[in-house]
Amino acid sequence: LTGDSRIPQSQDRQQSPTNDNNHEVYKVTKDGVYKQEVTGVVEEVEEEELKEVTTEDLYKSNVDIFDLNDYQGSQEGAKNGDILLFLMPLRNAEHVLPMAFYNLMNLTYDHRLIDIAFLVSDCSPDDTTLETVFEYSVALQNGTLVDKLKHEEELKNSGNVRGTSDLYQSYMEPSYIESVKKAYSNPESHHPNYRTPFRSVTIFKKDFGQVIGQGFSDRHAV
């Protein structure tokens, strides 16, 4: 690991032209976020050799195939020490991250057997998804995220501001919203390992050149 234990700032992640080796990898610990050194080796290929490359060759060199039939789980996975990988793609997601991290902590499978990986890509210039994931992930791993999220929620409620990020709640049944609030009000009473750190947290940053917006009409062609 390279770098120090601080949380990288936005100037550390300026966007550059998209290519296969243009990505960033960050490892999270209870003390901070560390940027891993990424090396990409590109071999020169003669023009004649390039003509002979088939689609199958490209698959073999760039795609790893895993047959899940070769991996058998069981109802006793936690007792057997089976490790899970939880993947979460994120784009312009800063407003939904509090609920996302609440849901992660609510996982009752042993957190010490779960690896978490975030893929942050193609966010707007003024979006803070990556920085927020850095901040929340460190707090997640050092056991302070619950207090941090509650404090942020108190500040939001005290401001008495209803933003567009919670407009969707206007279309939900009040009884459902109330049941959700109760479920998250005191989770530690029925989930003793709620604050337990996860086995690992890794954050990948790569832009793919996506230009379609994140709005409902953009994503559903309405």
Q: Is 187 exposed, middle or buried (0-12, 13-18, 19+ CB in 10 A)?
A: middle
pTM of the model: 0.70
pLDDT in tens, 81-113: 999 999 999 999 998 999 899 999 999 999 999
CA distance 25 to 23: 7
87 or 164, which is more confident?
87
Q: Which of 55-59, 125-129, 179-183 has the weakest average pLDDT? A: 55-59
Per-position b or e across 72-110, b if 16+ CB within 10 A of its CB: eeeeeeeeeeeebeeebebbbbbeebbeebbebbebeeb
Q: At residue 176, does pLDDT exceed 70?
A: yes
If you average pLDDT over every residue of the chain, what do you get? 79
Domain range summary for the chain, segments of one domain joined by +: 23-34+78-206
Between CA 12 and CA 101, with CA 122 as vertex, the angle to 5 degrees is: 80
Which residues face 86 on adjacent strands? Answer: 116
- Which residue type does 21 have? N
Q: What is the pLDDT of residue 16?
A: 44
Range 29-48 average pLDDT: 70
Q: Which of 11-15, 35-39, 53-57, 103-107 has the weakest average pLDDT? A: 11-15
